[in-house]
Structure 1
Amino acid sequence: MAGHNQIKQGNDIEESYPLSPMQQGMLFHGLSAPHSGVDIEQVVATLAEDVNVAALHQAWERAVERHAILRTGFHWGGSQPRQEVHRHVRLHFEQKDWHGLPQREQQSRLNAYLEAERRHGFELSVPPLMRVALFQIGEGKHILAWSFHHLLLDARAIAALLIEVFNFYEAFCQGRDLELPPPRAYRDYIQWLQKRDWSAAETFWREQLKGFATPTPLVISRSAGQAPDRPRGHSVEQVILPATEAAKLRVVAKENGLTVNTLLQGAWAVLLSRYSGEEDVLFGVVRACRRSSVEGASSTIGLFINTLPLRVRVAAETRVLDWLKELRAQNLAMRDHEHTPLVEVRRWSDVPPGPPLFESIFDFQDPSWDAVLRAQGGKFEQRVFAIHNQPNFPLWVDVYCGGEITIKIGYDQARFDGATIARMLGHFQTVAKGMVADLSQRVIDLPLLTDAERHELLVEWNGTQADYARDRCVHELFEAQVERTPNSVALVYRKEEVSYRELDNQANRVARHLRSLGVGPDVTVGICVERSAEMVVGLLGILKAGGAYVPLDPAYPKERLVFMLEDSAAPVLLTQQPLQDRFQFQIRNCRVVCLDALRHTTRHTKAESALRSTVSPDNLAYVIYTSGSTGTPKGVELPHRGLVNLLAWHQRTYGVTPQDRATQLAGFSFDASVWELWPYLTAGASVYVVDDETRASAPGLVQWLNARKITLSFVPTPLAEETLTLPWPEHGPLRAMLTGGDKLHRRPDPNLPFGLVNHYGPTENTVVASFAPVAPAEDGANPVPPIGRPIANVRAYVLDRLLRPVPVGVPGELYVGGDSLARGYRNNPALTMEKFVPHPFSDKPGERLYKTGDLVRWLPDGNLEFLGRMDHQVKIRGYRMEPGEIESRLNQHPLVRESLVLTREEGRGRKQLVAYLILKQPAAPASKELSDFLRTKLPDYMVPPTFVFLRAWPLTPNGKVDRNALPAPEESNRQSRQTFVAPRNHLEETVAKVWSDVLGRAPVGIHDNFFELGGHSLLAAQAVSRLKESFNFQLSIRSLFEKPTVAELAREVARRMSRHNAQRAPAITRVAREAYRAVRPSPEARVELAKHD
């Protein structure tokens, strides 16, 4: 489009005047993304009548002659754009005969035509910005397709213009002319706007938006578990409320002093609130803006609408009617200020520069433009009109009122899928019907889910009931297994093998000793040992004595070990002689017993029978200490019941038999060690304890597993992901690798010779709460695996902050319940009460749910998708985001194996995103390549400016990624803004000076970001126009978005100037309209820029 805004056509310019604020925004997006289809409107009329083509063509031409707006082109010269009305233009009118084609072929051609028209767009400086086509599809059957740019017309003008065109058409068909009074000029409205004083509007909007700093997030984006090859463009889902429902809505609104618009706006606000978890929501509303001092504005052909923010505080405890009346009053108060430019409203708000003020808009038309046409009667009653529009927002709601009410939700297919939007549409209806049914209820009580959805979420997907030995304890099940397979190998460590009988005897002796020291039900015993057979002997001995074991990692600092022993009130500590020196400190009322010495002295004594069990399934089996948010470890108390349920589920699910060989690989202070031992030792399988050297090396582990013919192995997630990249024997012994403990980022290769199963579970739910077999990656895609469905006798609920179930696809906090819950936190009743809450959906007294703090969502197939920790959510430049979403997109890059995104604080107290990456090969891609890749999938504000490449993750002793050990980004890896750097050359000085003038900010440094300094779309266009004048060559607006710092843009200018000077050609003074029409759009030409408005 270079040079087009310089086109002059002699004396053909009739008049020139500024743009309305709405036109300015549309012009900016039209220039930035000319082939995106944004703001291209298309009216399709089905005409069941014979058509006089010449008369119809003449009618359209007469309308163009009458209305200056239809002969208007748009130019950006200097600091402000202008619209120029041409005296003479040529309307593009075409006709085609399709009536011999099958109906399906006709529809296919029509769809292709409309899509091509949208992508082709318009040269905005060359009027008319409209094209008309007529297709004959049968005898007496035609389709009229009218494409135009939204810069020209709003819905009311569309209806008025079509009425006028068809009135002219009928007259011309009868051989007569039609005399109409001269139309009111759109210029009059612009002149009225130019005289407005915005001071009162500024006061109003500042008060309306005071304290609102975080835009309402659209949290229903496509799942990270979906393949990256998704459709592009926009689509629409719609529902039609029949006339009876529409009439009821009108009656209820009228009887209560409301409008249907207010009711439906309220329903949308409630829906956004429930989806986002925010009580204070904001969305855009389209205002007709025909109420002005310009006489005849109501019938003027032109663009009068304006999109403005509507902030709604969803007062949970307020009666629906009272709340809706407040919303109605808010809409009325907006009327005096509805002409205010959105860019100014955005500037007056408290939302930081960068993110959009809103990402969804609500447009209500009553009567709708097509209802106005039908109301004309005559042939209009048989003509069927439809419209295709694509606003520059990712989500929009159009409500058209007639006898019926049509509700459409349009959406960006790159961000949302049709099934999700269809569910959203259903929830919108449910809320609206709930309001109509009972306006006296509280807002909090409005229904969102249908009865069927609620039953699915609460009952069907939690149908996990299964039998297990509810009256037995773990050690009792082990003892029963000893009787079945006494001579089978129970335990292997290095070269030592221990049979079931030997393990039982040694554990019995430990148990008797512990019992003599006072160990019994709910008495804790600390155990601090190195990886060995003695570790298992000690654990089993504690259980047989009736106690609960407290595993203590020898690598822990002394201070942490002392706290855990004292907090657990363990009267006995089992350890080993080499570790005894670690406990030469005073531990109150705790006796230290060396397990290796005890085992050695009793190894050759005769077998002893087990002690009589004195514990019940409700007594504690173990206490695991996990990290606490306060920095103090918290002890989680787990009873036998949950552990027995876990091992029963595990044995059924994985078909454990005495022929299996399993591993004990996790650190034994990590609760996964519980899961690695007892399901196998109660089923007759052999457990191989992995030595420290092997568990530290992925290649070494693969070799070790194959050499020992391991059939089932749990491998912590980071290590598992590393092993998946290594070669495995085609017919190896391993039949399943179980993983968990961290977010799984990748799927296995289709040729992996064993199954991979992902597990999720907090310590507070006895290790595992859900599981999912992981299907191989297909077609090069690597969508993130889900965490699956709840295991037997465990129930999972995704709830909002008020403990209400959220819909499929909507993020919420995961709560788990059932037979595997912990008793609570040791010596911490306040935390126990906070995290273990009464079960809101159960009638069983005392039943509880555990509040996990994990952000998840249900997928349509009933699997859970893990999104991240609630406390890992970040806010950058006022926009809340989930790093897990960025990670999932990064992992789709062909060179990225794994990623982790977090925030780090840089200079001036600002936070920035940092992406840590592990690659599939040594050669790192350029950061720009990664940035460009992400920008095709995410908004700009979610693209990390800094990438750090690692060979391996730093891990905690439990095998999880140690976030605190991740290195800070090197200064050379980032475009540092920690210190002010002044312009260093003429180009940087020029760019900085233009920015300073346009933004009203000084000084501007070379690393300052235009948008972080307060820039937005219109200011960007002004800056580019000024730079074009300074450098005397064309610079696109898109360049500023891609190079938003002074240094980056100056380098881009230097590159383009060099190329421009080398390839200079005579200046273009005129561009033929026909030449432009021959240009076909590039599919890469679309860029999403709505967020900067």
Structure 2
Amino acid sequence: MIESAVTGRGLHERFLRGLELSPGRTAVRVDAESLTYEAMHELALRRAGALLAMAPQPPRAVAVLADKSPFAYVGILAAMYAGVTVVPLNPRFPAERTRRMLVAAGVSAVLADAAGRASLAETGLDLPVLDESAPAPALDAPAAVRPSDVAYILFTSGSTGRPKGVPITHAANDHYFTLLDKRYDFGPEDVFCQNVDLNFDCAMFEMFCAWGNGAAVHAIPPAAHRDLPAFFAERRMTVWFSTPSGISFIKRMGGLTPGSMPTLRWSFFAGEALLCEDAAAWQVAAPRSRIENLYGPTEGTVTITGHRWSPETSPALAVNGVVPIGRVHEGHEHILLDEGTESQTEGELCISGPQMTSGYLDPEDDHGRFLERDGRRWYRTGDRVRRLADGELVYLGRLDAQVQIHGFRIELAEIDHVVRQYPGVQNAAAVTRPAAHGGLELVVYYTGDRVPPAALRQALATHLPDAMLPKAFLHVAEFPLNSNRKVDRARLAREAAALSDGAS
């Protein structure tokens, strides 16, 4: 029974709205397991009660350290029902990285499955763990939250060799999802894919767009990617979300034949540049789907712009074959800075408004990422964009050494930092090159002693997730320098691209 009114202030209240619309319908399905809205609500109330009953005092932040399962989805909702900050974490990440994130977020309790408990044990941290059997009286209703309370904390790659924590408030999410409700016609009959990892901000789009409209969320099992059209047909999938790299993969698996995905109504792509040729191929395979190219940093609450693909008009707006990213969301201001001077046409995209985080968990990380200007606080995206005549924006590339690999945001300097820790290595420079099957892959050049590539990879795997592990390690006597006497990464990237994938 729902005791609290839907005020629009708490992110969890979107689930309550879905509960009102679809009490007996599926809220989440993972493989053969599923939970209705009513069942998930009751489970979340019980687990929230267990969190708040913890001694000596209720936690301020709760990590959900679990593989995708009904337990993980309920855990995210339960933390929000308890009125505490949720920190979704991947139990497959290296233990040291997980430890740093748990400490940085101030986590004082963990909701964990078997993989999560094993991961936590490797961190050496002594934190109380709630599993599926944790007994406690259920809450009568979700706890009240304030708009300024932090709904969740996510982590992005950091140039100092440690991940940066990004707190996102309930108010930021309320603004974001209110805009999405106006833009899209989702409803209880929709079936959403849940494709990305739960520690990735796009998972919030997948879950709470669906739950706010009484729709079902279906986790996509890895095996389904071998024949996604068949999976879509079986599940009657209507809403898809992935990085653009997903298009290339499905194409390689033979899934992008004309009309192969007729059930899709909406297709969303974010996290990387979307190529016009890929959008066009997807449209042919999903002729009834509207396609949107979304853009946004984690610091801006999932996405901050959107462009609706049109086979007739979008290609003419593209730059370098990349689909525009669209207009900045209503209620926000944006400026383009070209070497510190505001430009009307092209420059670094800086955004101010209700979706922006107020800063990182560690204030030292704010340096260089936030700007005080015209009485406002602006977030510097580090992305260079061009403003078209109609006001839409086109992504041109990164200003710094931050890249996207399969939607995972990576600071190349973080990889450099970790490689340099290996005995005998003097310096390191990570670059990207085109992967054989689309997208980008990482290559590291290093100086000092020559080290077997397998040894370097094994050492890095203890500190970095799989998405950040380089494809190749290339030893050089010294780095080439550009005219500014800096490491010429552009030249290294060109050389890496000219080498075979097996080079080491």
Match of 1:741 in 2: 271
User: Residue deviations 1:185-216, cap 9 Å, x none?
Assistant: xxxxxxxxxxxxxxxxxxxxxxxxxxxxxxxx
Cα gap change, 1:521 to 1:717, in 2 (>3 Å): farther
Q: Give the structure 2 partner of residue 856 of structure 1.
A: 385
**Aligned ranges 1:520-535 → 2 under 5 Å:** 523-535=60-72
Change (3 A) 1:624 1:731: closer
Alpha carbons of 1:966 and 1:744: their partners in 2 closer, same or farther (altered >3 Å)? farther
Contact 1:553 1:668 in 2 (8 A): yes
The alpha carbon displacement at 1:756 in A equals 1.9
Aligned CA-pair RMSD = 3.6
The residue that corresponds to 2:247 in the other structure is 720
Q: d(CA) in 2 for partners of 1:731 and 1:703?
A: 8
Distance 1:500 1:813, change over 3 A: same
Report deviation, 1:588. 5.1
- Displacement after TM superposition at 1:481 (Å): 3.1
- Return closer, same or farther for 1:584/1:967 CA change in 2, 3 Å cut-off: closer
Tell me the distance in 1 between the aligned counterparts of 2:107 and 2:437: 46
Change (3 A) 1:760 1:721: farther
**Are residues 1:537 and 2:49 paired?**
no
The 3-state SS of whatever aligns with 1:738 is strand
Per the alignment, residue 434 of structure 2 pairs with 916
Letter in 1 for 2:329: I
Distance (whole Å) between structure 2 residues aligned to residue 716 and residue 852 of structure 1: 19
1:509 and 1:855 map into 2 onto residues whose CA distance is 47
CA distance in 2, matches of 1:530, 1:833: 34
Alpha carbons of 1:496 and 1:519: their partners in 2 closer, same or farther (altered >3 Å)? Answer: farther
Deviations 1:143-171 (A, max 9, x none): xxxxxxxxxxxxxxxxxxxxxxxxxxxxx
Q: 1:581 to 1:776 in 2, by over 3 A?
A: same
Distance in 2 of aligned mates of 1:487 and 1:918: 46
Opposite residue 149 of structure 2, the aligned amino acid is N
- Report the CA distance shift for 1:769/1:487 in structure 2 as closer, same or farther (over 3 A): same
Q: Which residue of structure 2 lines up, in the alignment, with residue 181 of structure 1?
A: none
Q: Distance in 2 between matches of 1:669 and 1:521?
A: 23
Deviations 1:221-260 (A, max 9, x none): xxxxxxxxxxxxxxxxxxxxxxxxxxxxxxxxxxxxxxxx
One of 349, 352, 364 as aligned partner of 1:830? 364
Distance 1:586 1:667 in 2: 21
SS of corresponding position for 2:336: strand
Letter in 2 for 1:700: D
Structure 1 match to 2:290: 755
The SS at the match of 1:491 is: strand
Aligned to 1:610: 141
CA distance in 2, matches of 1:638, 1:778: 35
Equivalent position SS for 1:871: coil
What are the equivalent positions in structure 2 for 1:558-569 lying under 5 Å apart?
558-569=95-106
SS in 1 for 2:280: coil
Q: Could you tell me which runs of 5 or more consecutive residues in structure 1 were left unpaired when the two chains were aligned.
A: 1-468, 874-882, 885-901, 903-908, 921-955, 972-976, 980-1011, 1013-1093
Is 1:965 the counterpart of 2:470? The answer is yes
Deviations 1:793-836 (A, max 9, x none): 3333212343x42022x3x111112111113211x123235423
Which of 118, 129, 133 is the matching residue for 1:597? 133
The alignment of Structure 1 onto Structure 2 pairs a total of residues equal to 417
Q: Does 1:656 align with 2:186?
A: yes
Q: Which has the higher helix share?
A: 1
Q: Match of 1:705?
A: 232
Cα offset, 1:652, TM superposition: 2.1
1:793-812 equivalences in 2 (<5 Å): 793-802=331-340, 804-808=341-345, 810=346, 812=347
User: Which of 538, 541, 548 is the aligned partner of 2:85?
Assistant: 548
Contact 2:59 2:107 in 1 (8 A): no
Separation in 2 of the partners of 1:531 and 1:818? 33
1:259-658 map, 5 Å: 472-517=9-54, 523-585=60-122, 590-594=127-131, 596-598=132-134, 609-611=140-142, 613-658=143-188
Contact 1:721/1:744 (8 A) holds in 2: no
Percent identity, aligned pairs only, is 27
* Structure with greater Cα Rg: 1
Matches for 1:33-48 after TM superposition, within 5 Å: none
> Which position in structure 1 is the counterpart of 2:446?
none
Quickly say closer, same or farther: Cα 1:728–1:962, change in 2 above 3 A.
Answer: farther
AA matched with 1:862: G
Retained in 2: the 8 A contact 1:748–1:777? no
Calculate the TM-score normalised by the size of structure 2.
Answer: 0.74
**Does the residue aligned with 1:636 lie in a helix, a strand or coil?**
strand
Of 865, 868, 874, the residue aligned with 2:394 is 865
Cross-structure match for 1:436 = none
Unaligned runs of 5+ in 2: 1-5, 405-411, 413-426, 439-460, 484-504
Q: Supply the distance in 1 between the matched residues of 2:246 and 2:9 (Cα, whole angstroms).
A: 35
SS of corresponding position for 2:133: helix
Deviations 1:1001-1055 (A, max 9, x none): xxxxxxxxxxx9xxxxxxxxxxxxxxxxxxxxxxxxxxxxxxxxxxxxxxxxxxx
Which residue is equivalent to 1:792?
330
Contact 1:521 1:615 in 2 (8 A): no
1:705: Cα distance to partner?
2.1
Shift of 1:664: 1.0
Distance 1:574 1:521, change over 3 A: closer
Task: Write the letter of the residue equivalent to 2:434.
Answer: Y
Question: What is the match of residue 667 of structure 1?
Answer: 197
Partner SS state of residue 657, structure 1: coil
Change (3 A) 1:863 1:799: same
1:574 Cα deviation (Å)?
Answer: 0.9
Q: Is the 8 A contact 1:837 1:849 kept in 2?
A: yes
What is the CA distance between 1:585 and its match in structure 2?
A: 4.9
Q: CA deviation at 1:521?
A: 9.6
Q: Distance in 2 between matches of 1:572 and 1:496?
A: 26
Note the alpha carbon deviations across 1:52-82, whole angstroms, 9 max, x for none.
xxxxxxxxxxxxxxxxxxxxxxxxxxxxxxx
Counterpart of 2:220? 690
Letter in 2 for 1:683: N
Letter in 1 for 2:249: E
For 2:192 and 2:430, locate their aligned partners in 1 and report how far apart those are by CA, in whole Å.
44
Q: Deviations over 1:496-529 (max 9, x none)?
A: 2211111100000011111112699992111110
Counterparts in 2 of 1:663 and 1:520: CA distance versus 1, 3 Å: farther
Structure 1 residues 807 and 564, CA gap change in structure 2 (3 angstroms): same
Q: 1:768 to 1:518 in 2, by over 3 A?
A: farther
If the length of structure 1 is used for normalisation, what is the TM-score? 0.35
Structure 1 CA distance, aligned partners of 2:38 and 2:32?
A: 18
State the SS of the aligned residue for 1:666.
coil
**Which residues of 2 match residues 925-964 of structure 1 at below 5 A?**
962=467
Distance 1:654 1:968 in 2: 45
Report the Cα offset of residue 558 of structure 1.
0.8
Q: CA deviation at 1:484?
A: 3.4
Contact 1:702 1:723 (C-alpha < 8 Å) held by counterparts: no
Q: What displacement does 1:742 show?
A: 1.3
The Cα of 1:533 is off from its aligned counterpart by 1.1
Return the alpha-carbon distance in structure 1 between the equivalents of residues 57 and 212 of structure 2. 22
Given that 1:529 and 1:575 are in contact with CA atoms closer than 8 Å, whether structure 2 keeps it comes out as yes
For residue 768 of structure 1, what is the amino acid of its counterpart?
A: T
Query: Residue 816 and residue 588 in structure 1: after superposition, are their counterparts in 2 closer, same or farther (change >3 A)?
Result: same
Kindly provide the CA deviation profile for residues 890-945 of structure 1, in whole angstroms up to 9, marking residues without a partner as x.
xxxxxxxxxxxx9xxxxxx9x9998525469xxxxxxxxxxxxxxxxxxxxxxxxx
Select the structure that is richer in strand: 2
Instruction: Sort the Cα spacing of 1:658 and 1:584 in 2 relative to 1 into closer, same or farther, 3 A.
Output: same
Q: Tell me how far 1:577 sits from its aligned partner.
A: 3.0
Cα deviation, 1:845-868, whole Å, max 9, x if unaligned, reads xx4211111121212221111111
Contact 2:66 2:115 (C-alpha < 8 Å) held by counterparts: no
Equivalent in the alignment of 2:489:
none
The SS at the match of 1:597 is coil
